[in-house]
Amino acid sequence: MAPRRPGAGMSAPEVQYLLHADVEAVPMPDQDEVLVARRGSRVPPQLISSDAMALLEHFREPSTLVDAILAYCADVGADPMATLDASFGVLVALTRTDVLVADGTAPARSLEDRHRIGEVVGPATITGRIRVLRDSEIWRGVLADGTRVVVKVVDDEAQGPGLVSRELAALTRLDGSVAPRLVWHERSSTGGTLVLDEVDGDPADLAALVADADGRRRIAVAVLDAYVALHERDVLHGDVHPGNVLVGRDSTVTLIDFGLAGTASEPPPRPGGGEYLDPASAAALRSGTPTPALDASAEQFAVAAVVYRLLTGAAPLDLACERDEALRRIAQDRPRPFVAVGATPWPTGERVLRRALSTDPQRRYRSVRALRDALVGAPVEPRTSAPDLADALAALDVTGSVWATADDARAAHVAWFAGRVATLTGDPYAYDLALVWASRCGHVPPPAPDPRSPLGRAHRALAAHARTGRPALLQVARDVAAQLCAQAHTPEPVDVLTGGWAGLLLALECERPALALAPGTADH
């Protein structure tokens, strides 16, 4: 009788697992956690507890799950059943990421280079390694005439042929525009090999990291220009993230890695997740339904998320949470204001990005070009004579009498006031106040002003001024602000529709008329 192939016909308790030799473990300083990753894997490093790592050490030699748990419990004096309950989910997750592998199976094989320095591949001679993964390799090379190239090898029986076909189609369509020029290629049953012009540049997030504010904005616009050119050639990148956007010394942007690319008529597969996943895909993944086809609007969302990161150094949403909650936030939440991530406020630019990052695709820009034009047109202006709000904000602190006496309706007024101050000034204290007051009132906005009221008239004047630039209209709003402030008396309940608080906020809105927003109005 022929021996059984490892894992074939075995029940789960019989399978022997191995902690692969390619797995690297790095203890985190001052934390009871360990970072584990497998060299050559596309799966990001994972944090596990020190106890879980101690259990994994019992898989240095092939072992069943039961035997490893029993050996671990004998070492530390733990209860086997309680340990099994506590560790089972972690062990299953590690088998899915090839950290724990079934002994004798393909994933158990060690990572080996497919090529060597000095080897000739097509027209190129390999000169150095860039990256070696289990399903692909990227090498530096040189042509006979000295031209520097990159040699990309795709070797994945299941996905490789499709990845190479999509990349070749995109590169052919782009013909060296915003992408590397294709020099040579050869297909294989597991994918193939591409030789491309080498591109000098750094990943966009690293390039932005060392730039000043003006430099970051230049890089952001250059990235948008590249995606404008891409979309206008009817190509969807399909894999938008800063690592696939290279920025040269002159801020020239080149897009790379088109294995997930497609067109509007032949949309590519959706990427699996992360901060550049669009809301519709996140909602589908959360509900377990098929993800919709990628389109230009979904890719606009991903590009806007990249731009947000380039400008702030952070993601639009806080995704440091469980997977289901992260997907919910992507599907439902609005991007954080710059001040919330410690970045210098840019109210007009933030408004542009809020629209591009809307959870409703119908509210986004009609194209990446329209997004690019809006961001370029967003002024970066120093504030002038904004009113002093320090005393007003101090009165709204949770230790004060306003917090102690406010009902839900009044809390809605306070949350609106603090939120608008944060948006218009970038004051981090105002932002924190807005969060706690909004939570208290259940995130319900205050009522909108009566259109016939002084405040309603002032906001119509501000909107008209933003469209026409007529100074007389701005003066109308400033006169109303002065009148409302003159009505103030102490103590006065916080009211953003009338009285001194409304006047103070309106005076601030007059400093940024293009960003003015009447109470109770949604800002998309």
Look up the pTM and report it: 0.74
Which of 321-330, 334-343, 450-459, 487-496 is predicted with the least confidence, judged by mean pLDDT? 487-496
**pLDDT band at residue 102 under the 50/70/90 scheme:** confident
pLDDT for 313: 93
Could you tell me which residues come within 8 angstroms of residue 374 by beta carbon, excluding any fewer than 6 positions away?
352, 355, 365
Look at residue 3 and tell me whether its pLDDT is greater than 50.
no
* Assigned CATH class of 120-197: alpha beta
pLDDT for 42: 64
**Residue 487: closest CA among 498, 478, 495:** 498
Quick count: other Cβ atoms within 10 Å of Cβ 22? 18
Q: What is the largest CA-CA distance in the chain?
A: 98
pLDDT for 142: 98
**pLDDT band at residue 1 under the 50/70/90 scheme:** very low
Mean residue pLDDT of the chain comes to 89
Which of 10-24, 350-364, 504-518 is predicted with the least confidence, judged by mean pLDDT? 10-24
- Give the model confidence (pLDDT) of 433-451 as tens digits: 999 999 999 999 999 999 9
- Give the model confidence (pLDDT) of 122-178 as tens digits: 999 999 988 777 788 899 999 999 999 999 999 988 899 999 999 999 999 999 999
Which of 59-63, 111-115, 224-228, 233-237 is predicted with the least confidence, judged by mean pLDDT? 111-115
**pLDDT band at residue 382 under the 50/70/90 scheme:** low
Residues of the chain by 3-state class (helix, strand, coil), percent to 5: 45, 15, 40
Per cent of the chain over pLDDT 70 is: 92
Look at residue 483 and tell me whether its pLDDT is greater than 80.
yes
| DSSP calls for 319-347 | --S-HHHHHHHHHHPPPPPGGGGTPPP-H
Look at residue 489 and tell me whether its pLDDT is greater than 70.
no
Q: Mean pLDDT, to the nearest integer, of 344-353? A: 91
**Residue 90: closest CA among 9, 133, 33, 16:** 33
- Give the model confidence (pLDDT) of 250-293 as tens digits: 899 999 999 999 998 999 877 666 889 999 999 999 999 999 99
Structure tokens at 282: 């996140």
Query: Domain 202-376 falls in which CATH fold?
Result: Transferase(Phosphotransferase); domain 1 (1.10.510)
Q: Mean pLDDT, to the nearest integer, of 224-253? A: 96
pLDDT for 490: 64
> Who has greater pLDDT, 3 or 293?
293
The angle formed by the CA atoms of residues 320, 325 and 330, to the nearest 5 degrees, is 85
Structure tokens at 518: 């009447």
**pLDDT band at residue 111 under the 50/70/90 scheme:** low
**pLDDT band at residue 386 under the 50/70/90 scheme:** low
Query: Domain 12-108 falls in which CATH fold?
Result: Outer Surface Protein A; domain 3 (3.90.930)
Q: Mean pLDDT, to the nearest integer, of 406-420? A: 94
pLDDT for 2: 38
User: Domain spans of the chain?
Assistant: 12-108, 120-197, 202-376, 390-515
The segment with the largest mean pLDDT, out of 156-160, 209-213, 231-235, is 231-235
* Residue 491 CA: distances (Å) to CA of 96, 392, 487: 62, 12, 12
Look at residue 524 and tell me whether its pLDDT is greater than 60.
no
Angle in degrees, 0-180, between the axes of helices 347-356 and 368-376, rounded to the nearest 10? 170
Helix (H) or strand (E) holding 352: helix 347-356
**pLDDT band at residue 6 under the 50/70/90 scheme:** very low
Q: Mean pLDDT, to the nearest integer, of 382-405? A: 81
Strand partners, 192: 154, 187
Look at residue 108 and tell me whether its pLDDT is greater than 80.
no
**pLDDT band at residue 207 under the 50/70/90 scheme:** very high
Per cent of the chain over pLDDT 90 is: 63
Q: Mean pLDDT, to the nearest integer, of 41-68? A: 86
Contact in structure between 237 and 327 (CB atoms under 8 Å): no
pLDDT for 8: 47
Structure tokens at 346: 């840019």
pLDDT for 9: 47
pLDDT for 244: 94
Look at residue 5 and tell me whether its pLDDT is greater than 50.
no
pLDDT for 512: 85
**pLDDT band at residue 478 under the 50/70/90 scheme:** very high
